[in-house]
């Protein structure tokens, strides 16, 4: 057990015990913010945690990345000394592609290229794209990113295209299967296939642009390496599911700039304690998403409303 200053860094069960024994009515908020402040003191950088509770509360669309998140980032950036850069702690299943683009654009307008992304556990799809827009990604042995795949109301675009391709091939082989496939594909409106194709193209253009302008900006082979990363993250031919995880070793192999969370034991302990605190918050409250900084500013999305 590590002691930082006068604070003993707890594990999962110890964080839960600390919450249970805390006499404050705002114990969940108080404990999270205590450790976020501790990380800011250690790194001398701004900290914003962007956390979704989709693991504890699956099926809630608002827990994914959406345009309302911009308000959370505006609230949590206000009052920060932007010259210190930003350490973004990210935990999300991904979400709306246009919202993802808007959030990245806003963060880079506020902090330039000085953004580091910490992934204590999972940042999938749009979350992976946000991470790749940063100058560096910090991952641990337990961390995962995912392949990029725009979604429409939770429906992956690549999956839609694959379904249409499968239908075409099946009908060519057996024209009598037309009535079966007609019922399957008629659930999509006539322009949906084109929308999926355009969304995939846009996501690839965005990721390429972000990589060469920040993470790979000093790489002599940045175009080549950006295309290598893009091909890997957008290639669905060898992946059986949208939710397939990519671990730290894979992320390094494809050329992403990855720093081991374990390279600094103190930072590792604080980041994981922050993560445990958020997980306990989602398990013990109605919160479905939290965007929070190191000076106690937060937007907390509850079931049906926001709380400052």
pLDDT, one tens digit per residue, over 138-190 is 999 999 999 987 776 667 777 777 777 787 788 888 888 878 877 777 777 77
Mean pLDDT of 260-279: 96
pLDDT, one tens digit per residue, over 114-139 is 999 999 999 999 999 999 999 999 99
Counting beta carbons within 10 angstroms of the beta carbon of residue 157, is it exposed (0 to 12), middle (13 to 18) or buried (19 or more)?
A: buried
Phi, psi of 218 (to 5 degrees): -95, 5
Say which DSSP state 287 is in.
Answer: -
Helix (H) or strand (E) holding 46: strand 46-52
Comparing C-alpha atoms, which of 15, 9, 106, 45 is closest to residue 293?
Answer: 45
Q: What is the mean pLDDT of the chain?
A: 89
- Give the domain ranges of the chain: 3-307
CA distance linking residue 299 with residue 289, whole number of Å: 8
Phi-psi domain of 291 (left: phi exceeds 0; alpha: psi -120 through 50; beta: other): beta
CB 75 within 8 A of CB 292: no
Comparing C-alpha atoms, which of 100, 106, 107 is closest to residue 66?
Answer: 100
Comparing C-alpha atoms, which of 98, 26, 109 is closest to residue 287?
Answer: 26
Whether residue 8 is predicted with pLDDT greater than 70 in this model: the reply is no
CB 256 within 8 A of CB 137: yes
Comparing C-alpha atoms, which of 74, 83, 22 is closest to residue 48?
Answer: 74
pLDDT value of position 236? 65
For helices 27-43 and 12-21, angle between their N-to-C axes, nearest 10 degrees = 130
Counting beta carbons within 10 angstroms of the beta carbon of residue 58, is it exposed (0 to 12), middle (13 to 18) or buried (19 or more)?
A: exposed
CATH architecture classification, 3-307: Alpha-Beta Complex (3.90)
Q: Where are the alpha helices (DSSP H) in the chain?
A: 12-21, 27-43, 69-77, 97-111, 126-132, 157-173, 178-185, 192-210, 222-234, 248-253, 265-283
Q: From the CB of residue 20, how many other CB atoms can be counted at a distance below 10 Å?
A: 10
CB 95 within 8 A of CB 66: yes
CA distance linking residue 133 with residue 116, whole number of Å: 9
Q: What is the CA radius of gyration of the chain?
A: 21
For helices 192-210 and 97-111, angle between their N-to-C axes, nearest 10 degrees = 20
SS3 assignment, position 22: coil
Residue appearing with tokens 């998403």: 289
pLDDT value of position 66? 93
pLDDT, one tens digit per residue, over 181-227 is 777 777 777 777 778 788 788 889 999 999 999 999 999 999 999 99
């Amino acid at each position: 057990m590590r002691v930082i200053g006068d604070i003993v860094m707890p594990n999962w069960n110890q964080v839960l015990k600390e919450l249970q024994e805390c006499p404050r009515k705002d114990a969940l908020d108080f404990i999270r913010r205590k450790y976020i402040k501790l990380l800011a003191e250690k790194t001398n950088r701004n900290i914003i945690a962007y956390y979704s509770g989709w693991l504890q509360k699956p099926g809630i669309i608002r827990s994914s990345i959406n345009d309302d998140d911009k308000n959370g980032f505006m609230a949590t950036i206000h009052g920060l000394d932007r010259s210190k850069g930003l350490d973004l702690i990210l935990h999300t299943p991904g979400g709306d592609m246009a919202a993802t683009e808007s959030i990245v654009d806003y963060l880079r307008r506020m902090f330039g290229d000085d953004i580091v992304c910490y992934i204590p556990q999972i940042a999938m799809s749009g979350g992976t794209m946000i991470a790749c827009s940063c100058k560096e990604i910090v991952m641990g042995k337990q961390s995962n990113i995912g392949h990029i795949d725009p979604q429409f109301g939770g429906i992956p675009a690549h999956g839609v295209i694959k379904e249409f391709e499968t239908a075409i091939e099946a009908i060519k082989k057996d024209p009598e299967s037309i009535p079966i496939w007609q019922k399957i594909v008629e659930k999509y409106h006539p322009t949906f296939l084109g929308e999926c194709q355009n969304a995939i193209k846009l996501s690839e253009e965005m990721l390429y642009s972000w990589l060469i302008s920040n993470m790979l900006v000093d790489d002599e082979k940045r175009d080549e390496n950006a295309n290598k990363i893009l091909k890997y993250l957008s290639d669905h031919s060898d992946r059986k599911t949208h939710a397939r995880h990519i671990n730290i070793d894979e992320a390094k192999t494809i050329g992403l700039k990855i720093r081991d969370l374990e390279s600094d034991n103190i930072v590792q302990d604080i980041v994981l304690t922050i993560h445990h605190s958020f997980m306990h918050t989602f398990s013990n409250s109605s919160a479905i998403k939290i965007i929070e900084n190191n000076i106690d500013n937060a937007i907390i999305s509850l079931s049906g409303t926001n709380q400052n």
